[in-house]
Structure 1
């Protein structure tokens, strides 16, 4: 074969070794009744919707303990006398009351079943108060294995943070711990030792001394909030205030709560926030929690997307592309993850794929298209292809690797290439962010919006990328035919009817489009100068040399 064919063969073999070598299927997951109680929507949960939480908590770093109450305001959807709330079993319930009267309850692991004195009638607005205390789980490897992080800063002062995505908000406060039900708003009051500040979500309503040894901070969130986004941070913080002016001349408050000795470096480092907010506004609309402000809190763990209280612990470091990936990624979650939220952890790809893809949008916006491609290519080797990006629903599924981040971002990047019109593609993404703003969202709803706005049926591509572990693989053979190249090709994919278009070109010439299906096809391509090059930087796929002895169709 001539040199161009050698080049394309060598290129493809280096592109996707994983696609050429079958991967062993992981052992099937086994789920417990606790998984189902936490992850499923049983009648004891669907009978009511939470409207408002009032959390009052005393936090004692010396004993690593908490004590207080949460009042759950709810609207009755279906008449009931028994409801489920959630609180980890290592925390002691002192009482559950309604209207000052004690209610009977039964604990089953981390689930709590409460029996009402009177039937709760459909449409009525009721409330119960849960008083409790104990030592919440201590974080093992936050934020991935979360809980309370009881730390000291470099001066020896207490520095406390909470991260509980996956673990669950019920690890430290009683609630309906399911992503499908967010309160419309929330108020949190924290009583802490004098000398510390308690920083939580939203806006600070008041701060007052309690006796001689404690200070009480009350915060309020004026928007919907998912339970794992609720947080509290204790430390010797100083507040740095800034302001962002939107493109239509509205002003957003920016508050950075950092350890006292990091104030000076924080002022310089967080200058990148203004450009980030401008980028995200251009593509996805106004910052979604405008009334509550954009807030960042320095944490003793790497970071977390806590709504209007973004956890930041990356030590004020930028990456080789010149920005802080924790700051940019966690802030992106304010749009995807906080404003719109999946209804089951099985669909957490919605949060992480879009937030990771927004990093690349930020790179393109600040440093151009070639830098964006380099950034995505730097993440491509991190894709594992061991598990589908959507897991089983109803069991509080926790993803086993980071494919919902990097493969998810590459799915969206691939769709940009397939749509092949940036105006249409980015307007479609904007529609997703705005139509589902401050709402729960499902995978189907996102796909439906993107299909409608692009006027393309993208469902087969989504199905292959989300519901199967393996990427689509192009099986091919190239033969010279005079002035033409004969390309025999097909997609290997589990999705019936899979037909993703594929870009190709010669060397650095203009892109052309190939239309493989799951059936063998032969395409004659007029030769041009340079080597044949498939769009490895535009789409995510694997390759496989065709076995000439076996041209059977796929099942």
Structure 2
């Protein structure tokens, strides 16, 4: 059973690690050419109808944008299986050219720098249906226990343009948020991001459900959830908590989601105020496992502890909480608030969020259990390729960005070797880059500055190379010597070592040094691998 489970797990975290050739389609989606950088999206205004039985979408996205550089052409994106019905600006139909999923829109006159524009992009079609969401992108069309439609969508990595026209790149979040209006058959509800602003019977057997997002939002986070939902409302510290679950699950959800309150308290203490108070916090039951949809977190873990009833850390600690609730909610701070400019830097989302699970464990159960949890995750690390992916082609790095990323941050904590300083740094990081789009260089510079230590070689080794640092130990000339074996030149990192029952800290380099405290025997030297994610090699 565990073996079958691990196969499924590794399919989840390594789906993008298989070597693939770079194509023109990849560069169109992942690249930043002038047709993309010449404008800044201000707001998306979706107004669509979804027919669950026909698996069909129709409607428009009214896109508000500001011109950054004079241009007569911009690029928007919509999967090529979807139909472009028309694109209209100031009641004038615009010409466009399609290349794969890219739509190059030509304007009759040059749009001037600093001018604000609003076009309507009408479209329709049957969106891609996911084979196994959220591990592949697409819609999920299912039935609940009463035989009613139950619909969700997850498109991280695949691209939001799978189901609506958008500037499909993480560098540009709509500054003023989004309006999401979705008409669904009467008797069903649609739950999207942000605040519910009302519903309207449109008179054709459909009811439109309107939602408003006031904060910037990742393209892949904009979502729809269609079902005959029960609504549960609660609050914590002035934050609205709203849960939308299938009616059969209302009673168990009320009890199970009590875990949200201590989670919010922990994360606000360690990472700062919940980033999207204006839009509220929601958990929405979905027909797939989960996704970090901003202010409308997708939940499909069956109201179980662990990950589908299993412990990803193999330590027992993972069964103390619901993995999906904690992990996907952690993304509200890391991924939704702090976003990477390129998917190649997705470790900024996943490494910090996976580490947030350890933070939650420490908040509730203490340091020892937290260390047991994070170190249990070593069994999930494959060290198959670098965590950082290929830039400009919509290509993530290794799935190790999750567990190896968390273990790296745990290592960084113990390199700093001052918990008061560490928690202050982590809090300042979350606050400094709140609702911003950043890259790895920004992260490194921040931690270098705040720690007063040159951590760049350590970041480079863990993020840009497959291998983790190897602490080599040898007995020579009557003493024990040590050094780091790494890919990065001039690598330097401290390590705590227990010698004859006494712990000392030494700073290793790639050159051999004599271990102090008169260590004579290799077997008496015990590096503290629970604090540092390293390998030890006794020569």
TM-score under structure 2 length normalisation: 0.92
Aligned to 1:518: 510
Is the 8 Å Cα contact of residues 344 and 396 (structure 1) preserved in structure 2? yes
Is the 8 Å Cα contact of residues 501 and 514 (structure 1) preserved in structure 2? yes
Which residue of the other structure, out of 206, 209, 233, is the alignment partner of 1:214?
206
> How far 1:454 moved relative to its partner?
1.4
CA distance in structure 2 between the aligned counterparts of 1:172 and 1:520, rounded to whole angstroms: 57
> How far 1:150 moved relative to its partner?
0.3
Flag the structure with larger Rg: 1
| Higher mean C-alpha deviation, range 26-35 or range 303-312 | 26-35
Aligned to 1:273: 260
Is the 8 Å Cα contact of residues 49 and 59 (structure 2) preserved in structure 1? yes
Aligned to 1:323: 321
1:267-346 pair list within 5 angstroms = 267-319=254-306, 320-321=316-317, 322-346=320-344
Look up the SS of the partner of 2:275 in the other structure: coil
Is the 8 Å Cα contact of residues 506 and 528 (structure 1) preserved in structure 2? no
| Higher mean C-alpha deviation, range 472-481 or range 331-340 | 472-481
Is the 8 Å Cα contact of residues 145 and 167 (structure 1) preserved in structure 2? yes
CA distance in structure 1 between the aligned counterparts of 2:402 and 2:502, rounded to whole angstroms: 30
Aligned to 1:468: 465
> How far 1:525 moved relative to its partner?
2.6
Aligned to 1:74: 65
Give the CA RMSD over aligned residues.
1.6
Look up the SS of the partner of 2:87 in the other structure: strand
Aligned to 2:494: 501
Q: Does 1:129 align with 2:120?
A: yes
CA distance in structure 2 between the aligned counterparts of 1:444 and 1:29, rounded to whole angstroms: 26
Look up the SS of the partner of 1:274 in the other structure: helix
CA distance in structure 1 between the aligned counterparts of 2:486 and 2:532, rounded to whole angstroms: 15
Per-residue CA deviation, residues 495-543 of structure 1 (Å, 9 max, x unaligned), is: 1110111111146x45311222111222233359994211110001112
Aligned to 1:65: 56
Is the 8 Å Cα contact of residues 194 and 279 (structure 2) preserved in structure 1? yes
Is the 8 Å Cα contact of residues 487 and 525 (structure 1) preserved in structure 2? no
Q: What is the number of residues matched between the two proteins?
A: 510
> How far 1:307 moved relative to its partner?
0.1
Which residue of the other structure, out of 38, 42, 49, is the alignment partner of 2:33?
42
Is the 8 Å Cα contact of residues 81 and 127 (structure 2) preserved in structure 1? yes
Unaligned runs of 5+ residues in structure 2 are 1-16, 307-315
Aligned to 1:204: 196
Q: Does 1:374 align with 2:372?
A: yes
Aligned to 2:423: 426
CA distance in structure 1 between the aligned counterparts of 2:465 and 2:149, rounded to whole angstroms: 46
1:74-223 pair list within 5 angstroms = 74-184=65-175, 185-211=177-203, 213-223=205-215
Aligned to 1:17: none
Q: Check 1:63–1:28 CA distance in 2 against 1; reply closer, same or farther (3 A cut).
A: closer
CA distance in structure 2 between the aligned counterparts of 1:352 and 1:494, rounded to whole angstroms: 24
CA distance in structure 1 between the aligned counterparts of 2:222 and 2:366, rounded to whole angstroms: 36
Is the 8 Å Cα contact of residues 182 and 226 (structure 1) preserved in structure 2? yes
Look up the SS of the partner of 1:225 in the other structure: coil
Is the 8 Å Cα contact of residues 60 and 192 (structure 1) preserved in structure 2? yes
Aligned to 2:313: none
CA distance in structure 2 between the aligned counterparts of 1:455 and 1:534, rounded to whole angstroms: 25
CA distance in structure 1 between the aligned counterparts of 2:343 and 2:216, rounded to whole angstroms: 18
Look up the SS of the partner of 1:73 in the other structure: strand
TM-score under structure 1 length normalisation: 0.90
Is the 8 Å Cα contact of residues 71 and 128 (structure 1) preserved in structure 2? yes
Unaligned runs of 5+ residues in structure 1 are 1-25, 246-250, 547-555
> How far 1:29 moved relative to its partner?
4.2
Aligned to 2:7: none
